[in-house]
Every structure is written in structure tokens, then in C-alpha cells.
Structure 1
Amino acid sequence: MRISRAKAVVGIAALVLLAAGCGSGDNGTGGTGSDVTLTVSRWAGPAAEAEVQLLKDFTKQTGIKVRVDAIDYAQLKQKQTLAAQNKTGDYDLLYVPEAWYQEYNKAGYLVALDQYLDAADKADFNSTALDITSSGGKIYGLPDFLQSPLLVYNKDEFAAKNVQVPKNWDELLAAAKVFKDKGTGIAFPGRQGSAVVDVLSVVAKGDGGGLFDAGGKLALTSQPVVDSAAFLTSLMKQSLDGSAGWHYDETTKAVQFGQAPLAICVSGLFSVAEDPAQSKVAGKLGYAPIPYQQTAAGLLATWSYSIPVGSKHEKEAYQLASWLTSKDTQVKMIQAFPGHLSLRTSVFDDPSLAAKAPWLPAVKETLANATTPPLSANGAKLTDALGAGMNGLFVKGGDPAQMLQSVQQQLASDF
């Protein structure tokens, strides 16, 4: 689940070592000088490359040098946990996805950050994102990045067919049918895997429910989840041919090359569809929450910066994490890599980003009612089983309630 979603964001996966320049001295910003070098562990790709360029400013401001160990997602956790278990001090900052925090905190890998984080700064972060990194009432990570699925549509195609932007399930089914009857339809990520589970989670949240109940128990047989699975099964019937085998990469390409007039895509790939050098529809796209029954909903698939126990430069590491997640740096990061989405509330209203990232208003609307991917160590089991079940409904048909009951029973001992 996490691997496929990470690929959708970074686009490439390679073992690289990137440096953030040298610099020296302290320019009055609290730096400790050029004798300190921090090493950051994170995944590779365009986001890492953009970050490295920004880190040159951090070095100029503080005199602190930074090395970025940017590697393939599939090896990232292994390297982080090995360093944390042995307290080697190899890393001063870890880039951690939401699904790893429960394990890392239970194992005692991370340093609590409450002593450094002031109230005003804390208030600007998305509160649910902070909760993801927290354990025992303490905060162990500063939220940096999120991705979430949205409805993406071609404004010209909608105008030509006199189709309004859908807000609820019936309207989305009707809009998709208009285009299906004309030979296209909605591009939907129906392949077994994380995307279809993400979308089901968001749709259920928008119907007042979720994959888990208020007490954290698996709730696949709850009415909102059953209804959401049935709705998505109906939506697949109005999809572009091949959608049952697609993930986010394919739905984005269908929009990007003008094949699909509407689609469910993930935010990390929006910038590709808006790039005139890569897209036939750049500047023609609109963005909206996935249609809902009660309230617009989103997904908090997040990455946050944490300090591992054993860091040789804990204070400087927090200084770097704070700088990376500050509003100013977050705005610059989006300007450099529009696929970046911040978890700072104030960033969404920055006027300099309106043209660069036109999806921000829709994302902001969904974050007030956002769910998370499965956070427990058994989350991958749920994604595999539920993804297979949903894909089975799309390809072979069947009763959504029975499928969900089967998966609930199959995973009863794991949740």
C-alpha cells in the first residue's frame, strides 16, 4: 500500500546522496556554525530534489550543513529502523509516513518534541496530522507533507456537455454517465491496492462513517462503508474502459492526455497534469472534493519530520525540522514542487500559490473532515484484503455487504 502510493508521489525511486551546500558562520538566526552537519533520511524523487535546493538557504542562514540520504521507499524503513535500534547516530532527522508512527513510538525510536514546539506554531499545524505523530500525550513529529485524492475534471468538456460539477453521489453518477454514453466516462483507480482503499475511506468518511469506528475497531460492516462500496461499484460501471486495472498513475495519464473528462486522482500528481510540457489539458482542469453524502472529506496520507533517539545534534535537528515545516519554507516548497501539499493551515490561503497550485481550495475544504490510512502495523493486511475485495466487485460483481462481512471476519483477530 505505502509503496504504490509513494511511487505515485515521487515518480522515481533511486538511491542517491544529496548535499545542501557548505556555507559557514552564523548569520544571526541562531545557527551553531559550520562544524555541525545534519543527515536526513527520506525518500527520493522530485520532492527530495526540490528540498535539497531549498536547504542551501538553511545552510546560508545558520551555517549548519545538511546531507540528505534520499533512497527508494522500499528500503527506507529498513534503514531507519536499523539506525534507530542501534542508536548509531547515522541520522539526525527521519522522514516518516503516517503508517510507521505507532511502531516507531512503541519501540521508543523517536524524541518527544514538546519542549521545543511553541503553542502558536502548534496551532498552525493540522491537528489530526499532529495526532498521527503523537503517543502518550507527546508529539514526536512535525507534519510536512500530505497527499489526498480529489475529483479532477476538464472544465471545457463539462461546459460543452452542460455538466455541473457534482457534489453528491447521484450527481457524480449522472455526470459520469453523460460521458460514458459518449464513449469515455470517469477514470477511476479500481485496481487492487491502496488507491481504491483510500477512495473508499474518503467516500465513507463523507457519508459520516469510516473503516474504523470511534473506538478504533474495524467497522467494515457499518452502513456508511457498505453504502460507499455499493456506490463505488455503481460508479465503476460508468468508468473509462480499463479503470478496473488502474491506479492513480493511470487515472492521471487519462486526464493528462485528454482521454478522460473527469477522474479521481491523487494530489501528488496534479502538477503533472498541469504541466504544459507534459499535458494536453494544462490550465483546463478544475478540482473538487470527491462527491459526498454529508460532508466533504479528505485523506491524511502524511509525512512528518522526527528526530531519532541517538541523534548527535538534537537541538540543531529540531531547528532544521522547524525550518523545513515553517510557513515560509512550505510556500517555497510548493512554488518549487507544486505536488507538495502542506499541513500548515496558513499556507492554503497564501495568494502567491493560487496560480501555481489551483487545487489548494479543494484540498483545504476536505481537510476539515479528513480520515487517515490504516495506522496499525496490520494496515497492509487490511489494504490487501479490502483492495482485493473491491476489485472483485468491479470485475466479477457481487454483493458489497457480503464482501465486507467476509473481510471483517478474515481480519477480526488483527484489529
Structure 2
Amino acid sequence: MTILRHMKSMMAGTALATIVAAGGALANPYEPYEGTTLVVSWPSLSHFTFAEELVEEFTEETGINVEIDYIQYLSMRDRQLLEMSRPEGEYDVVAWVVMWKGEYVSRGLLTPLSQFFTNPAIVDPDFDIDDIADAYLQNGGVVGGERGYLPGVSGALYGLPFGAETSILAYRKDIFEEQGIEVPTTYDELRAAMAALDEAGIPALTSRGATGHQVTAAWLMHLAPLGGKIFDEAWNPVVNSPEAVEAAQVMREVAQTGPDGIPTFGFGDAAAAFLQGDAAMHLDTLKIAAMSRNPDLSTIDGNVGYALHPVGSRCGSETGGFAMGIPANSPNQEAAFLFLQYMTSKQGDQRMVELGGDPVRISTLEANTEGFDEYPVVAEQLPCADPDWRPLIPEWNELNIDVLGQALTKVITTDDPIQPIMDEANEQIRAIMEREGYYKWADYRAGE
């Protein structure tokens, strides 16, 4: 059953969802927007290319045309900022990496979604936003709560997750069985498994490690479960805390026991090392599961197991990926909302699974455990996904690449003591935060 036919059947007996036309006939909620053309800015990544067929179905069922502007995701922010800053932009829908949401909202570039959710003519009563994984929704779409980017009563919804992710552990079942190694559930067990694999001459855990945001992302994978943070509650940087230094030490051990080349690896390289049989473990985004089933990418399908991200002093897996929203200067905002709703509806989420994408709804994960061994793990992992995994502030790009991305390269490419490296990074971060005014109120009150 197509999404529109399903919607019609569900709406037929629901008075709140009925639009009454002249003469009392039921109207098509998409009809006022038939012939509209939406322009959508998407990254040229697999989840979004898989979605093309769903977009075609949207056009077929609604009469709303869609043009997709695919951009390499690292170049997408500059293009989107340019278009959304014009009096009237080209884009009606944009997908953003979760780190960009605060910047977009602070510049007044996005439309709050609340105004659309108050319009019964365009809101599907079966949309059930509570079914969307809360970690994904908060991480990708909510702005203005605690610290400006976390949940809170002052927060507002600007986007819906699409292509969102958390981290899980993928491992080679055959290697673990041959070596008699238990699947690690804690960081102590993970480090012990790395050492045992290394002693057996088997590269242990693959990882990103290229200078800049890649090596920082790898470090963050360990920072959260080991109890570390980037800032304390007063925006003081704490990347030199014992927890942060331990996470950096784990990174060093990963580079020493993992496959050759980690200091040059981006995500694709790290994933390829696992998929081509050159590493026994992969601890990163859940997207590795779909990649492992792809014969064009993987030689290890059938030998991969999935487990929760190991726990340190707490559980804390990644929150990341993408969300979609509506630019403030879009000329077709209601039609754009209908597109967002369609793509992230229960039926749309199920279609994304069928097309090879990653679901964002708990019900979809629970309904598709057969054939997707990672889905039960992801559903169990999501309550531990950390919405403060990285600070989603406008300054993060600079901190991520220019400070931490340089310091952590020293960690994994030298034998220098780690504490002084992280102390220097901490000082650099504090100077940036001082420059951006994060301590003005504290300084003002201190002088009263």
C-alpha cells in the first residue's frame, strides 16, 4: 500500500484529519500544493541516494515535484549558508550535519516547525513524533534549550532526523571464536581484547585518525563512555581532565594495535580496513552494518557480529548524522513540511529500510529485526546515546579541526606524554571561548 493510500484509509474515519471541501467531499491534503517544485539540498551520501526512489513516490502520490541538489557533505555548509542568507533562497529543504544546527538558528536561517504542527490541514495525525528516537530528534533538530543545543523548556524544534546515527561495536565473529575472545562489554575488556589480538598478530580495532575532524571524532567515541566532556557547566574546557587523557591514551593504543595507516584514515578508510578483513573490530557509526552487507564494499558478510558500545564509567554512545529542516527564506514552506513529514513518517521510514537506508523510528527498528542483526543492538543502544557527545556550538568547527584535531594527531603519531599535549589544547580552547564572549557574564558578576 502506498503512503498516500495508507494515509487516506487512516484519515477516513478521523474527523480531526478531514479537510471538508465544498459539498462535504473529502479533499486531498496535498492538492493545494500540486505542481509546486521543491529544491532540496542533500549530501551525496548513500542514505540520501537510497532515498531517491522514495522521493519519486512522493511526487507520484502528491503532485509536488522535487529537485535534489547533491553536494559533497563537507562543502554543503558553505553553499547552504549562501543560499539561506539571500532574501529568497533556492532551497526549500536543507539537510545539515548536526553540528551546524546552532549556527543556522543563531543566524535566523531556519523556520521553527511548530507553526506547521499546529496546522491540522497538513499534519498527518498518525505521524507520531514520539516514535522517533529521542536522541536523534534532540541531537539533530532541537535548538535553544540547555546550553543552546540540548533539551530544555526553552528549546524549539527546527528539524527532523534523516540519516541520523549512533555508534555500535562491530566485530569479526570468526576471529573472536578462533582466538577465544569474549565480545567486550566494558572498556577494560575492549583494551584487553585489543592487546590479545595484537599479541596474536591480528590488527585489532580500526579507527579514523586523519588530522582534523576525523581524529577528533575517533577520540570522542571513547571520551563519552569514559566519563569525559569538552566543557564543564560554566564553559570551562576540560579536555585535559583525567577522563579526557585516558580517552587519548585509548586512542594511542588503538593506533598501536590496529591496522597500519590509522593516522591517515578518514571514515571510509577505517571502514574499508574492517570490511576488507584487515581489522577485527570497528567502533563507530552503525552505518558499518549496511556496508558489511554490501558485496561491492565487503568481503566479510556473514562473519560480522554487533554489540553495544562498550561502557566505561558510564554508557555514552555517539549522536550524529543529519537532520532536515526548512530555510526561513523558502517560498514553499508548507509543501516543504509535507515533504519532511512524508520522508520521516512511519511508512516512509519503513520504505527507507527497504531501500537500504537507516531508520530513525523505534517502531521501525523493532519491526525489522529479521535480516538486520544490528537493529536490536541499535534500539538498545539509543537510550545511552549522548546528546552532549560534542558541543553543538558555532565554534565547534574551529575547536574540532584547529585545536583538538592537531593535538590528537600528536597523541597517535608520537610517544610524547599525553597530559602536556592536552593541557596545551585546553588553553587554546579557553582562549577561543574567551574571544567569543562565553565568560562575559561570569567576569561581570565577579566584578560586582
| AA partner of residue 314 (structure 2) | T
SS in structure 2 at match of 1:244: helix
Check the 8 A contact 1:301/1:373 in 2, yes or no: no
The answer to whether the Cα contact below 8 Å between 1:142 and 1:304 also exists between their aligned partners in 2 is yes
> Does 1:245 pair with 2:264?
yes
| Separation in 1, partners of 2:396, 2:99 | 8
Partner of 2:175: 157
Residue deviations 1:204-225 (CA, integer Å, cap 9, x gap): 2212332233455432123322
Q: Answer yes or no: is the 8 Å Cα contact 2:255–2:412 preserved in 1.
A: yes
Alpha-carbon spacing, 1:212–1:341, altered in 2? closer, same or farther (3 Å): farther
Structure 1 residue 170, shift from structure 2 partner? 2.0
Secondary structure (helix, strand or coil) at the match of 2:162 reads strand
What's the offset of the Cα at 1:269?
Answer: 4.0
Q: Deviation string for 1:14-56 (max 9, x for gaps)?
A: xxxxxxxxxxxx9945443532111111112433322121112
Deviations 1:281-300 (A, max 9, x none): 11210122332213332111
Preserved contact between residue 31 and residue 64 of structure 1 (Cα < 8 Å): no
Per the alignment, residue 55 of structure 2 pairs with 55
Matches within 5 A, 1:389-408: 389-408=407-426
Aligned residue in 2 for 1:227: 246
Q: Which amino acid aligns with 1:207?
A: L
CA contact (8 A) 2:102 2:393 kept: yes
**Pick aligned residue for 1:121 from 125, 128, 138:** 128
Moved over 6 A (4+): none
**1:307 correspondence with 2:307:** no
Check the 8 A contact 1:154/1:286 in 2, yes or no.
yes
Aligned to 1:365: 380
Q: How many residues align?
A: 386
User: Aligned AA for 1:169?
Assistant: Y
Q: Please tell me whether residue 182 in structure 1 is matched to residue 200 in structure 2.
A: yes
How big is the alpha-carbon RMSD for the aligned residues of Structure 1 and Structure 2? 2.4
Partner in structure 1 of residue 106 of structure 2: 106
Counterpart in 1 of 2:37?
37
Q: Is 1:144 aligned to residue 162 of structure 2? A: yes
Give the Å deviation of 1:320: 0.6
For 2:437, the equivalent position in structure 1 comes to none
Aligned amino acid, residue 94 of structure 1: V
Q: 1:360 to 1:188 in 2, by over 3 A?
A: same
Give the match for residue 397 of structure 2: 380
Please say if residues 144 and 305 of structure 1, whose CA atoms lie closer than 8 Å, have aligned partners that are also in contact: yes
Q: Tell me, yes or no, if the aligned pair for 1:198 and 1:299 is still in contact at 8 Å.
A: no
State the partner residue of 1:341.
358
Of 161, 164, 172, the residue aligned with 2:190 is: 172
One of 417, 423, 431 as aligned partner of 1:413? 431
Compute the TM-score of the two structures, normalised by the length of structure 1: 0.85
Report the structure number with the largest CA radius of gyration. Answer: 2
Shift of 1:335: 2.3
Preserved contact between residue 226 and residue 404 of structure 1 (Cα < 8 Å): yes
Change in CA separation of 1:79 and 1:249 when aligned onto 2, cut-off 3 Å? closer
The one-letter code matched in structure 2 to 1:47 is: H
Q: Distance in 2 between matches of 1:92 and 1:110?
A: 10
Maintained 8 Å contact 2:258/2:279: no
Gaps spanning 5+ residues in structure 2: where?
1-25, 119-124, 145-153, 434-448
Task: Indicate which of 307, 312, 326 corresponds to 1:288.
Answer: 307
Q: Aligned partners of 2:411, 2:425: CA distance in 1, in Å?
A: 13
In the alignment, the residues of structure 2 paired with residue 28 and residue 94 of structure 1 have an alpha-carbon distance, to the nearest angstrom, of 26
The aligned amino acid for 2:392 is L
Instruction: Measure how far apart 1:349 and its partner are.
Output: 1.1
SS in 2 for 1:116: helix
Aligned match of 2:346: 327
Partner amino acid, structure 2, of 1:401: Q
Q: Does 2:218 match 1:218?
A: no
| CA distance in structure 2 between the aligned counterparts of 1:378 and 1:342, rounded to whole angstroms | 30
- TM-score under structure 2 normalisation? 0.79
Residue 441 (structure 2) aligns with:
none
Residues in 2 aligned to 1:81 and 1:317: alpha-carbon distance in whole angstroms: 18
- Matching residue of 2:137: 130
Matching residue of 2:445: none
Q: Which residue of 2 aligns with 1:82?
A: 82
- Contact kept in structure 2, 1:41 and 1:91, CA below 8 Å: yes
Contact kept? 2:285, 2:318, Cα under 8 Å:
no
Q: Deviations over 1:249-270 (max 9, x none)?
A: 2222222222222233433343
The whole-number CA distance in structure 2 between the counterparts of 1:319 and 1:217 is: 42
CA shift, 1:315, in A, is 1.2
Cα deviation for residue 109 of structure 1 reads: 0.9
* Contact preservation (8 Å) 2:236, 2:430: no
**2:440 aligned partner:** none
Aligned residue in 2 for 1:19: none
Q: Which residue of 1 aligns with 2:18?
A: none
Letter of the 2:336 partner, please give it.
A
Q: Which amino acid aligns with 1:227?
A: E
Code of the aligned partner of 1:294: S
Instruction: Please state whether the residue corresponding to 1:153 is helix, strand or coil.
Output: strand
After superposing the two structures, state which structure 1 stretch, 183-192 or 100-109, moved more: 183-192
**Matched letter for residue 168 of structure 2:** L
